[in-house]
Amino acid sequence: MNARGLFLSAFMMLAACMAPQTGPPLDRYGGPAMTDPPNFDRAAVDVIRGSFAAGRQPDGNTVIFSSAVGLIVFDTGRHAAHTQKIVDRATARGQPIIAIINSHWHLDHVSGNIPLRKLWPGAAVYSNDAALSEALGSFLRRGLESNRKMLVDPATQAGMADDMRADIATVEQGDRLHPTISITGPLALNLDGRTLDLHTATAASAGDIWIYDPAKRLIASGDIITLPAPFLDTACPSAWRAALTDILATPFERLIPGHGREMTRTDVQRYRDAFNALLDCASGSATVRACADAWAVSIAPLLDEPSGDAGQAAAYAGYYVESILRPRAFRSDCAS
Ligand SMILES: [Zn+2]
């Protein structure tokens, strides 16, 4: 079990004692309807909101871009129920999945690749293969071993045990997660009438990809923007700051984060400011609690029920200040 997994297990055991999360029905953009800028076009982009239920591991958001001949799926979730929603969307549209793009190799974003590729074996898969390969031999392998140990621990709750078994099965089939096309730098992807600008970063992982759709002025950011807090387990904070700057340098009007609701530019600027403040606070002499509470207050307007409340935001931020940022427990390729 990796550090995040350990934390999530403990955190969710507490969360499981609270009322189950139900939440309002989600619209296609994963949150309350927003007033669009003039001429903003939502057609041909669907979002499947990732779950983050009490006592379970999360799914990342999925963004589906449609083209003349098929669907382009950005991130495929972790749980079978999430992947089924992608299948259902393709079935409802009567179009095949012609491409999968993974924002990074975390299991809440790639696990659905395996069942989707069984159904659409001709789909091209775009991700950073070197980063995935490195993770399969290190972080994911350690997680596999930890999950096997925790499965025999009677204190492990049933829902979390189900997620551990699924994660074990995914990593054991890790060969099926490799891309058909490895992305290591910017690329304009032209897929039958649809152009997507793929950008790269080394923020949440050593091989992040985020998408700018110039026709829609829309970004799918993956976990470079994530609520209720940035997941810093495999992070490089300085590169993460740079990635947020790069995102804001594009003329986007709407952004779909890796976890959480749709955001405006103003929302993303708020997130960027809060992220930089969290890093600066962790580098200073303030208490962990003060850094965590400041994060939670800053991003509170961005939260909705499915993404967690301010208390959860503070709990995550405090954990990462204490376990990752202050001890500088960054990826080996990260200098700062
Ligand atoms: Zn994620």
pLDDT tens sequence across 73-91: 999 999 999 999 999 999 9
Cβ contact 312:300 at 8 Å: no
For residue 83, the CA-to-ligand 1 centroid distance in Å is: 15
pLDDT on residue 192: 78
pLDDT on residue 41: 74
Which one of 3.40.50.720, 3.40.50.300, 3.30.460.10, 3.60.15.10 gives the CATH number of domain 3-325? 3.60.15.10
pLDDT on residue 148: 96
For residue 37, the CA-to-ligand 1 centroid distance in Å is: 28
Instruction: Give the torsion through C-alpha atoms of 242, 246, 249, 252, to 10 deg.
Output: -130
**pLDDT tier, 33 (very low <50, low <70, confident <90, very high otherwise):** low
Question: What is the Cα–Cα distance from 33 to 15, expressed in whole angstroms?
Answer: 28
pLDDT digits (tens, 9 = 90+) for 163-175: 999 999 999 999 9
pLDDT digits (tens, 9 = 90+) for 215-261: 999 999 999 999 999 999 999 999 999 999 999 999 999 999 999 99
For residue 234, the CA-to-ligand 1 centroid distance in Å is: 11
pLDDT of 7 > 50? The answer is no
pLDDT on residue 191: 84
pLDDT on residue 74: 98
For residue 289, the CA-to-ligand 1 centroid distance in Å is: 24
For residue 79, the CA-to-ligand 1 centroid distance in Å is: 12
For residue 108, the CA-to-ligand 1 centroid distance in Å is: 5
Question: What is the value of pTM for the model shown?
Answer: 0.89
For residue 226, the CA-to-ligand 1 centroid distance in Å is: 7
User: Which of 11-25, 39-53, 91-105, 131-145 is predicted least confidently?
Assistant: 11-25
* Polymer length in residues for the chain: 336
140: enclosing H helix or E strand: helix 139-151
**Which pair of tokens denotes residue 191?**
């897929």
Question: What is the Cα–Cα distance from 157 to 9, expressed in whole angstroms?
Answer: 9
- Provide the residue ranges of all domains of the chain, joining segments of one domain with +: 3-325
Cβ contact 209:200 at 8 Å: yes
Cα–Cα nearest to 170, from 135, 205, 202: 135
pLDDT of 92 > 60? The answer is yes
**pLDDT tier, 194 (very low <50, low <70, confident <90, very high otherwise):** confident
Selected residue with higher pLDDT from 307 and 36: 307
pLDDT on residue 25: 32
Cα–Cα distances (Å) from 76 to 105, 112, 121, 299, in that order, read: 11, 5, 15, 26
Average pLDDT over residues 20-35: 46
For residue 106, the CA-to-ligand 1 centroid distance in Å is: 6
For residue 326, the CA-to-ligand 1 centroid distance in Å is: 22
Average pLDDT over residues 275-291: 98
**pLDDT tier, 32 (very low <50, low <70, confident <90, very high otherwise):** low
pLDDT digits (tens, 9 = 90+) for 101-130: 999 999 999 999 999 999 999 999 999 999
For residue 257, the CA-to-ligand 1 centroid distance in Å is: 9
Cβ-based burial of 94 (10 A; exposed 0-12, middle 13-18, buried ≥19): exposed
Cα–Cα nearest to 98, from 75, 77, 124: 124
Cα–Cα nearest to 248, from 283, 273, 285: 273
Question: What is the Cα–Cα distance from 260 to 26, expressed in whole angstroms?
Answer: 12
Question: What is the Cα–Cα distance from 161 to 142, expressed in whole angstroms?
Answer: 17
